[in-house]
Structure 1
Amino acid sequence: MAAEPKTRPTDVPVADFIASIEHPTRRADAEVVCRMLQEVSGQPPVMWGDAIVGFGSYRSPTGDWPRIGFSPRKANLSLYVLSGSPDVAPLLAKLGKHKTSVACLYVNKLADVDLDVLRELAATTWAAMARKYPT
């Protein structure tokens, strides 16, 4: 069996984490994304490790992970809203300035992207994750 991930839910208040973000744009963007993902998921935000805000959870072969989430990193805002579903490709084409990796979407600031498309992307991924990992 694989080792449990080091990134686990914590009791750190998400509001305290967001308030501690030094860069004012990154902090404001984190507040917006936190509200958006909470509305999309219907779940409260939870700190995972020291830098990831997650919503909901699922059990994979490698352990427990948030269904969707984000991390306001120094270089960019990392959003964990890509499920591998083919439904996301047309949304990414309409999103605006961004980069992607396997499961992450990277934006420099929310002003670079269409927030309605980002919301739809998060909702699409939330639904795809619910189908793939039913509770």
Structure 2
Amino acid sequence: MSETKTKPTGADVSAFLDTVEHPTRRADGHALRTLFERVSSEPACLWGPSIVGFGSRHYRYESGREGDTPRIAFSPRKASLVFYLHHYDGYDADLATLGKHKPGKGCLYIGKLADVDQARLETMVRKAWEASA
């Protein structure tokens, strides 16, 4: 079985966010860090080279593969902001009122924070945090 590459690195999260080229995505990354820290009461931690995670949880698949992953996370990628949020009851209903986004398999893509309802996003992050405990 291969080893997972997404692990806490101990790298400086602020320094990583400061390297994001796109100025709006860089500012959004810092704003998201503040939001996620407020919701989780956990410090930001860089997982792998580009995922800003909060808290951790252990998983184990029926196949026997297991590992650790952040409870909630985001990544300011080149094309969009990517959110890694545990799905919860009502997730799809919340997505319907979020604003401009693209759902992905296991993640959520948003171009910029200004495209979505900030209060709805915070609610979704909070619900995902609670559901991932």
Tell me the TM-score normalized by structure 2: 0.92
Aligned-residue CA RMSD (Å): 1.0
Count of matched residue positions in the alignment of Structure 1 and Structure 2 = 128
Give the counterpart letter for 1:33 in structure 2: L
Where do residues 72-91 of structure 1 align in structure 2 (5 Å cutoff)? 72-81=76-85, 83-91=86-94
* Residue 84 of structure 1: how far off its partner (Å): 2.7
Aligned match of 1:50: 49
Give the counterpart letter for 2:80 in structure 1: N
- Report the Cα distance in structure 2 between the residues aligned to 1:59 and 1:77, rounded to whole angstroms: 24
Match for 1:69 among 73, 84, 101?
73
Q: 1:36 aligns to what SS in structure 2? A: helix
Aligned match of 2:130: 127
- Report the Cα distance in structure 2 between the residues aligned to 1:34 and 1:51, rounded to whole angstroms: 13
Give the counterpart letter for 1:41 in structure 2: S
Aligned match of 1:28: 27
Instruction: Give ranges in structure 2 of 5+ residues lacking alignment.
Output: 61-65
- Report the Cα distance in structure 2 between the residues aligned to 1:114 and 1:101, rounded to whole angstroms: 19
* Residue 102 of structure 1: how far off its partner (Å): 2.7
* Residue 86 of structure 1: how far off its partner (Å): 2.5
Is it true that 1:39 corresponds to 2:43 in the alignment?
no
Aligned match of 2:63: none
Q: Which runs of 4+ in 1 moved over 3 A?
A: none
Tell me the TM-score normalized by structure 1: 0.91
Instruction: Give ranges in structure 1 of 5+ residues lacking alignment.
Output: 131-135
8 Å contact from structure 1 (residues 76, 106) kept in 2: yes
